[in-house]
Chain A
Amino acid sequence: MDSLYVAWRYLSFNWLRTATLIGCVSIILALPLALNFLLDVGERQLTARAQATPLVVGAKGSALDLTLNALYFGEQVPELISMAEDEAIARSGLALPIPVYVRFHAREFPIVGTTLDYFELRGLSIASGRTLGVLGECVLGATVAERLGLAPGDSLLSSPESVFDLAGVYPLKMKVVGVLAPTHGPDDLAVFVDVKTAWVIQGLGHGHEDLASIEDESVVLERRDGNVMANAKLLKYNEITPANLDSFHFHGDPALYPLTGVIVAPNDERAGTILRGRYLQEESRQQIVRPDEVIGGLLQSIFRIKDMLDAAMATVGAATVLALILVFALSLRLREREMTTMFKLGCSRATMARFVAAEIMIIGAFTAVLCAAVLALVNAYGVDLVRALILQQGG
C-alpha cells in the first residue's frame, strides 16, 4: 500500500511525463482494437445487407457503383437502365423485380423511388403514420425524420439537381405520410417514394389543367387534328393533392422510364441461375450482379489493406514497447540519486523494485481506463460512423 502511495505521489509530481506515457501506450493499444471493431461492424453491415439482396440488375459498368447505389443509396449514380428491364424480368416469371431509382435528394438525404415490394423485402415497418398510398407521398427513414424534425402530415421539398439548371427539375412538394421504424441501416437515411413520384420529380410526369376543356385560350398555341398544343403559360402543379391528382400523367413510353437498378428476388435458386445466364451474353447492355460477391470483393480489398495496416501497427507497437523500456531504463538512470537516498534511508532493493512496479501498475491501470473509454465511444458511434463511411464510399 505504501509502495502504491509513493508511486502515486511520484507520478503526480511528474504529471506531464506520466500523461504523455499513458497517452502513447493508450494510442498504441486502442488504435488497432478500434480499427478491428470498426472493420467487424462494417463487414457485418455490408455482408448482412448484401446477403439480404439476392441479385441486382443495372447498366454494364462498375458493379461496385451499381451495388452501392442500389443497396446503400450512394450518391454515385450509375448509368441508367429503363423500366423495360424491370418488366422483362417480371414477364419471365422467374423472379420478382423491385425497381430502384436513386438519383434525387431532399435536403441532403437520398430520395429512393421504388415499390411497396421493397418494404417487404427489407422487412421495413411503419413506426408512425401509414405507408405510401398515392403519387406525391413520401415515407421517411427514422434518422431523416429525426434530423429534419418531420412527422406524418408535414411536407418535404425535393432538391433541384443543380442550382444552375433553371430549365431542369422543379422541386416537388411531397407529403410525409409515414416514418419508418429504425433499422440501423441505410434505410434510416432515405426518403422513400413511389417510383412514379421519382419520375414526376424528374419531369417525366406532371399535372396541369385539362387542356381539352381549358377556358383561357391564351394558354393554347394551336389546336390541330385533335391535338391541343399549350405554351409555357400553362401552369404545372408542383404539389400533388387529392384535387389535382387525377390531372397527373406521364409523357412517352413508360417502358423507357429510367431506373438506376432493379433488385431481383428470384423464385428459387434455379430461377436465379437461369436469370444470371441471360445476362452473361456479350451483347447484353445490362449486367446482373450478386451483391454478396461484389461486397465480398470489396471486403477482401479492405482486409488486404487492413493486413498491411496490422503489420505496420505491429512494427510501430514493437518499436514503441522498446522505446518505453528505454524510457523506463533511462528514467531509472536519471533517478539514481533518488534511489541512493532511498537506499540510505533504509529501503531495500526489493522495496525500490516494488515502487517501480507500482508506478508501472498505475500507468497500466490509467491506460486500460483510457482504452476502455475510447472503445466505448467507438462502440457507441461506430455503427453510424461505418454507415457514413460506406455511404461516402458509395458517393
Chain B
Amino acid sequence: MSSSAERFSVMRTSLSWLSVLLIASAVTSTTLAEDRLSVYVVNYPLKYFAERIGAEHVSVEFPVPAGEDPAFWKPTAEMIAAYQRADLILLNGASYAKWIATATLARSRLVDTSREFADHLVAGGNVTHSHGNTGAHAHGNFAFTTWLDFNQAAAQAKAVMEALARMRPDIRASFERNFEVLQSEFMALDAELNVMARKAANRPLLASHPVYQYLARRYALNIKSLHWEPDRVPEESEWTRLAAMQREHAAKWIIWEQAPLEASVQRLNAMGIGSVVFSPAANQPERGDFMTVMRANVANLGRALD
C-alpha cells in the first residue's frame, strides 16, 4: 500500500515537472520565434547564406515557387506587402530580380549584397534602344549570377552578416562565427577551382546559357555562350550555329544549368562534345543545399577541365 502511494507520489511529481518543462519550452520557443529576425530574400543563394549565418536567430523567407527563375519572377501585391513587413530584405544587386526596380520598399530594410563589388560587375549584352536623341539604353544592365565567383559569394555572405549584426548587435559574435565557417567553405571551393582552372588554362568551353560570366572571369575560363534550354532539343539552325562556332572555338565540353535531354547529349557526343552540369542554384534545389550543389558543380567542372 505504502509502495503504491510512493509510486503515485513519484508519478505526480514527475508529471508536474514535465508540465513545467513543457510550459517553459513552449514559452522559450514562442519568445525565440518572436525574437527571430524576419528576412526576405530574392534568390536561393541569399536564403542559404542568411540561414547559415543567422541560424536560429532568423526566419528566412524565399517565396519564389520551385521551378521559377527568381531573376524574372513577379510577386503579387500581397507578396510585395509581405516583403514590406520584413525586418530585412536581402537583394542580390546587379539588376537581379527585375521586380525590385518597380516595387516600393523601405530603404532602411534593403541590403544590396553585391554593393562591395558593384564597380566590377560584368555588363550584360542586351539590345539597346533610344528614342530620338535621348541616348541609347538597355533595360537589363549586368550579368547577375554573381555568386558563381566564390570570392564574390563570400563578399555577399559578409554583407548578409553585417546586415544581421546591425539589426542584432548583441549576437554579432554568433553571426561572425557562422560567417567564418561559411567563408572557409567558399575559399576551399575557390582554391579547388583555381587549381583545376590553372591546369586547363584557356581551354575552350561552351555554356548553354550566358550565366557563367563571373565564374569565367574569376577562374579565367574560356567560355562562349549559347542560348540553349536543357529541357528542349535545339533546332537545326542552332546546331548549325554551334558547328560554325566550333571552327573558331573548338570546345570539347558544354556546361549546362541543369541536366539536358538525352537526345541533346547524344547529338553533342556525336560532335565530340561532352556535357557537364554546373547549376547556378538560383532556386532551391530538389536535393541537397547550396553548398552540396556547388561541390557537385566543381566536381562536374573538374571533368571538363581535367
Contacts and interface: CB of A to CB of B under 8 A. Distances in A.
B129 A228 contact: yes
Interface string A246-272: 101101100000000000000000000
B129 A229 contact: yes
DSSP class of B's interface residues: helix, strand, loop or mixed? mixed
Contacts of B74: 246
B106 A252 contact: no
A194 interface: yes
B132 interface: yes
Interface of B: 74, 77, 80-81, 84, 98, 101-108, 127-132, 134-137, 139
B98 A132 contact: no
B128 A134 contact: no
A168 to B, nearest CB: 15
Contacts of A120: 106, 108
A134 B103 CA distance: 4
Given A96-B107, A120-B108, A249-B137, A227 B129 contact: yes
A206 to B, nearest CB: 8
Contact of A115 (B107, B127, B139): B107
Query: Which A-B residue pairs are the 5 nearest by beta carbons?
Result: A116-B106, A132-B104, A211-B129, A228-B129, A194-B104
Contacts of A115: 104-107
Contacts of B131: 208, 229-230, 234
Contacts of B103: 133-135
A252 B135 contact: yes
Chain B CB count within 10 A is highest, among A137, A221, A226, for A226
Chain A, interface SS category: mixed
A130 interface: yes
A340 B170 CA distance: 94
A221 B133 CA distance: 11
B104 A249 contact: no
Interface residues of A, number: 35
Contacts of B127: 211-212, 226-228
A3 to B, nearest CB: 72
Nearest to A220: B129
Contacts of B81: 130-131, 133
Nearest to B77: A133
A196 interface: yes
Interface in A100-137: 115-117, 120, 130-135, 137
B100 to A, nearest CB: 11
A175 B268 CA distance: 53
